[in-house]
């Protein structure tokens, strides 16, 4: 059995002891002793010692309401500290304890590609043209408060300081004292938010990720890429290459979120400008201190004027403009008169003086100086620009159709909503080719339509580099895309913006190729998009709609077909992957996911959402962010230059056979069983999730409604909390069972051996099943579910057990995660801390529901319940 690395084990032990010291001080020794007794009982229960289960349950059920909170906080806080230790260990060892952090170096990947026959020039061209865009989303899965994240980051920094072998005893003591302070601060800080963050708060959090981590990590990654490329091909990375870009949905994603208005979006654009100006000012101040030399070209001297320090003069001029830009943005945010004279507006205005300094230093033989901070700053400008992030706009297709319909009605041109697709397209293309305005003057549209038009007007005022994509959810026809372009143009848009249909449900994915074929057949549109198209694939809703196995296969087939359609029309396609953090939302190790995409679908460009707690786990610390950038970069390069083989026909037939059965089995339970929704509501904390102030967006698309109205994140969150993990395996259980009974296991093993897509699917299923826990799921049901619905729970648990058996048989192993021993051990280490939280949560849910029935829930019960949700999320390393 794999054990934790001694260094990691020592850090976990040290952090745990320091937490124990804080608990002894407050609430006191009695509370500490009780927590230790519970932990010992949980460990004994996992070892299945006689009577230990009853002892643990009795200890927890006997707790008073007042005792519940410190006990839940203690176990939750320990899990957060264990995560910090693991996360830091992944940076220190260059090899993380999560499969996603097994990072192969850029140089090793380049060398392997050259050995496989890739031409040096082709490798250089592909790397310099690389386009990977991370889209930070505010999907509400980050449970941890910002104030605690800052303390956790400093704890990680302290662990790094302790790693030095040459510390004096007094230095080691100082660091340990600081750790003790930080853990005491965290223990004595309320970990639960009581107010939902606004959409602007979320955007500020996204900017903070750039300020605190990516600002430093990105130039370091690009230096590493440049060095590895030189070693492999003899040529480096051009200064203006921007293989990585950062975009955001925070403040732009209005789909189902009434809190994101045009005013919010406008404020987020201004805040991005303020933050960018502030960050560049810091760089410029440091550069002015460094670039004190006098050797310079005539061109630079001509702009610097008479001075002994021409570089400082040029940078001084730039500093003044950045100060004016920051002041202008701040005035705009505060609603004050804003002077926009001499501010920096386009990226080129910021690049020009920096490039002038760089070229002068190189021409003067001062290459070493040029390639220092100045080069890093130039690369930051080419990556982040003056907007800092590219803001995406997302809205549902029906809102645009409603706006066009009102305009058409106002002009007396007919009933747009009753027109067929051909009529709509003809009208939209005709108007797009017309030079006259369409929107009537002195017109008073409905509130919904006014908001759509106001949003378009805000977007139209931005520079091209400020804008990411305009994503249309529930898109199904070319008119959905054309209507957005028309509304933007009518609002004053002067340049083309990427308009991206999002295909989410099973039917959407199946219809996507026909939709894009119809769109590419519109000559006007082909000219507009300049033969470049982005298409978004939704993972969350397709899995919720059809089950994980069918969704994964439908996504794969849609990407294949879209790649073929784009090739037929000579269009360069970028697929935008709307993945979440969990397997049920398309999550899992990023490199495996990328390397298992259909051949040709990763053609040098890749766009992906990063949400909630996954932003912190992947990009929260500079070294961690650098690892993540390396991991994505190597995977996209390899998938482009050495794509996986296309699936053989027998494999396709087998996937069709499997998914036909998985889809039917999944929908029979989720859609057709009348007991399912009541069981779901009673057995999981779904109804209590609203108590957690996770994000600005409501948990439901509609205030009322069943599972179909629930967003994919709380749907996954609820099942994860009680360890049933149902969305990720339901349907697969039946498909694998019937495959075994039909004697199909030999072909499934062949698919696992030679087809990355299928192997990745089975590995992700195995990972989810390892997180499932039949005993804990049973305890929730026993405590919370009415007798009438318990037979369904018994059936689901039997199916889960069967799915585990079938995966072990398929992989020919006696236990799960034999290929991932470190991850398996990490789960085992967490169990004595997550188990009490699960038992406590079930008991707290029972008390909470009793209290609601009596019209009064004790405050301590509600707070403790929220803490269990956050703690379990930390223990599972994801929420939704």
Length of the chain: 880
Q: Residue 720 — φ and ψ, nearest 5°?
A: -70, -40
Tokens of 407: 């305009």
27 preceded by a cis bond (ω within 30 of 0)? yes
Tokens of 42: 């949980």
Separation of alpha carbons 487 and 432, rounded Å: 10
Tokens of 519: 């769109």
Nearest to 720 by CA among 581, 843, 569, 598: 581
The one catalytic residue in 89, 124, 139, 811 is 139
Tokens of 149: 């994240």
3-state DSSP: the chain helix, strand, coil percent, rounded to 5? Answer: 65, 5, 25
Q: Which residues contact 76 (CB under 8 A, 6 or more apart)?
A: 191, 837, 867, 868, 870, 871, 874
Eight-class DSSP state of 212: I
Separation of alpha carbons 111 and 268, rounded Å: 43
Separation of alpha carbons 643 and 638, rounded Å: 7
Q: Which residues contact 640 (CB under 8 A, 6 or more apart)?
A: 126, 602, 603, 604
Cα dist. 27→67, 69, 71, 189 in Å? 10, 11, 10, 13
Q: Which residues contact 732 (CB under 8 A, 6 or more apart)?
A: 547, 548, 549, 662, 765, 803
Is the Cβ–Cβ distance between 534 and 650 less than 8 Å? no
Residue keyed to tokens 């990490």: 826
Is the Cβ–Cβ distance between 338 and 331 less than 8 Å? yes
Q: Residue 154 — φ and ψ, nearest 5°?
A: -70, -35
What angle (nearest 5°) sits at the alpha carbon of residue 572, between those of residues 567 and 575? 100
Is the Cβ–Cβ distance between 451 and 261 less than 8 Å? yes
Is the Cβ–Cβ distance between 106 and 228 less than 8 Å? yes
Cα dist. 132→128, 484, 590, 829 in Å? 12, 25, 13, 36
The one catalytic residue in 544, 577, 618, 744 is 544
Eight-class DSSP state of 407: H
Helix (H) or strand (E) run with residue 150 in it: helix 146-162
Cα dist. 643→80, 118, 297, 617, 757 in Å? 38, 12, 47, 28, 12
Is the Cβ–Cβ distance between 537 and 559 less than 8 Å? yes
Separation of alpha carbons 219 and 197, rounded Å: 31
390-396 and 131-137 as β-strands: parallel, antiparallel, unpaired? unpaired
Helix (H) or strand (E) run with residue 577 in it: strand 572-578
Separation of alpha carbons 581 and 613, rounded Å: 8
Q: Is 811 a catalytic residue?
A: no
Separation of alpha carbons 201 and 205, rounded Å: 6
Q: Residue 571 — φ and ψ, nearest 5°?
A: -105, 135
Is the Cβ–Cβ distance between 207 and 389 less than 8 Å? yes
Q: Is 139 a catalytic residue?
A: yes
Number of H helices, E strands in the chain: 38, 8
Nearest to 758 by CA among 774, 741, 739: 739
Q: Which residues are catalytic?
A: 139, 544
């Amino acid at each position: 059995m794999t054990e934790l690395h001694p260094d990691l084990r020592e850090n976990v032990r040290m952090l745990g002891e320091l937490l124990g010291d804080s608990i002894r001080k407050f609430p006191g020794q009695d509370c500490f002793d009780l927590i230790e007794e519970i932990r010992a009982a949980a460990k004994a229960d996992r070892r299945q010692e006689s009577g230990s289960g009853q002892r643990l349950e009795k200890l927890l059920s006997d707790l008073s309401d007042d005792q519940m909170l410190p006990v839940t906080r203690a176990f939750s806080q320990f899990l957060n500290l264990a995560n910090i230790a693991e996360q830091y260990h992944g940076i220190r060892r260059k090899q993380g304890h999560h499969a996603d952090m097994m990072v192969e170096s850029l140089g090793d990947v380049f060398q392997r590609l050259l050995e496989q026959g890739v031409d040096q020039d082709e490798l250089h061209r592909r790397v310099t043209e690389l386009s990977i865009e991370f889209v930070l989303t505010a999907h509400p899965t980050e449970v941890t408060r910002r104030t605690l994240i800052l303390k956790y980051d400093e704890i990680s920094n302290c662990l790094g300081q302790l790693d030095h072998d040459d510390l004096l005893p007094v230095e080691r003591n100082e660091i340990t004292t600081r750790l003790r302070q930080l853990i005491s601060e965290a223990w004595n800080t309320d970990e639960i938010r009581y107010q939902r963050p606004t959409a602007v708060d979320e955007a500020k959090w996204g900017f903070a990720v750039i300020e605190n981590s990516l600002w430093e990590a990105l130039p370091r990654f690009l230096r590493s890429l440049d060095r590895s490329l030189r070693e492999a091909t003899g040529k480096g990375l051009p200064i203006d290459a921007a293989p990585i870009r950062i975009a955001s949905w925070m403040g732009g994603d209005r789909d189902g979120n009434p809190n994101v208005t045009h005013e919010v979006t406008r404020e987020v654009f201004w805040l991005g400008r303020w933050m960018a100006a502030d960050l560049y000012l810091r760089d410029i101040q440091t550069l002015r201190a460094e670039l004190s030399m006098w050797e310079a070209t005539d061109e630079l001297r001509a702009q610097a004027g008479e001075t002994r320090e021409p570089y400082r003069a040029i940078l001084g001029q730039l500093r003044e403009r950045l100060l004016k830009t920051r002041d202008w943005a701040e005035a705009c945010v505060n609603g004050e008169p804003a002077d926009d004279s001499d501010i920096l507006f386009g990226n080129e205005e910021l690049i020009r003086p920096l490039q002038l300094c760089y070229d002068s230093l190189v021409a003067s033989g001062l290459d070493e100086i040029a390639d220092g901070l100045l080069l890093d700053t130039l690369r930051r400008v080419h990556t982040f620009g003056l907007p800092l992030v590219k803001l995406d706009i997302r809205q549902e297709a029906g809102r645009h159709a409603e706006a066009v319909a009102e305009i058409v009605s106002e002009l007396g041109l007919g009933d747009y909503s009753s027109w067929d697709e051909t009529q709509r397209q003809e009208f939209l293309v005709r108007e797009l080719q017309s030079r006259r305005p369409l929107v009537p003057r002195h017109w008073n549209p409905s509130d919904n339509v006014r908001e759509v038009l106001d949003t378009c007007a805000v977007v139209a005022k931005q520079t091209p580099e400020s804008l990411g994509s305009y994503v249309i959810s529930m898109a199904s026809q070319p008119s959905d895309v054309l209507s957005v372009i028309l509304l933007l143009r009518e609002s004053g848009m002067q340049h083309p913006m990427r308009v991206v249909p999002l295909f989410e449900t099973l039917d959407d994915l199946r219809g996507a190729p026909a939709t894009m074929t119809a769109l590419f057949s519109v000559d006007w549109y082909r000219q507009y998009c300049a033969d470049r198209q982005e298409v978004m694939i939704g993972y969350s809703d397709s899995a919720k709609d059809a089950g994980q196995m069918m969704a994964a296969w439908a996504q794969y087939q849609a990407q294949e077909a879209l790649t073929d359609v784009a090739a037929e029309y000579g269009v360069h396609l970028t697929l935008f992957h709307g993945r979440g953090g969990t397997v049920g939302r398309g999550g899992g190790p990023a490199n495996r996911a990328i390397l298992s995409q259909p051949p040709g679908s990763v053609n040098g460009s890749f766009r992906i959402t990063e949400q909630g707690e996954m932003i912190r786990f992947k990009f929260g610390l500079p070294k961690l962010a650098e690892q993540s950038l390396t991991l994505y970069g190597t995977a996209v390069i390899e998938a482009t230059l050495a794509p996986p083989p296309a699936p053989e026909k027998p494999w396709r037939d087998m996937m069709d056979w499997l998914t036909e059965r998985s889809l039917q089995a999944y929908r029979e339970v989720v859609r057709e069983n009348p007991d399912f929704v009541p069981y779901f509501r009673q057995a999981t904390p779904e109804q209590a999730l609203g108590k957690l102030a996770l994000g600005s967006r409501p948990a439901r698309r509609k205030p009322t409604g069943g599972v179909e109205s629930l967003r994919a994140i709380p749907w996954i969150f609820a099942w994860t909390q009680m360890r049933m993990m149902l969305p990720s395996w339901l349907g697969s259980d039946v498909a694998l069972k019937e495959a075994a009974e039909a004697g199909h296991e030999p072909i499934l093993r062949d698919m696992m051996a030679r087809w990355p897509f299928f192997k990745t699917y089975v590995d992700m299923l195995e990972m989810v099943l390892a997180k499932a826990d039949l005993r804990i799921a049973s305890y929730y049901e026993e405590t919370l579910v009415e007798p009438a619905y318990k037979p369904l729970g018994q059936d689901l648990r039997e199916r889960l057990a069967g799915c585990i058996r079938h995966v072990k048989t398929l992989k020919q192993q006696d236990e799960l995660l034999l290929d991932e021993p470190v991850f398996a051990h990490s789960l085992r280490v967490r169990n004595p801390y997550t188990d009490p939280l699960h038992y406590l949560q079930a008991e707290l849910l029972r008390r909470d529901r009793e209290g609601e029935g009596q019209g009064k829930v004790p405050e301590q019960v509600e707070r403790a319940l929220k803490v269990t949700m956050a703690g379990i999320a930390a223990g599972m390393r994801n929420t939704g």
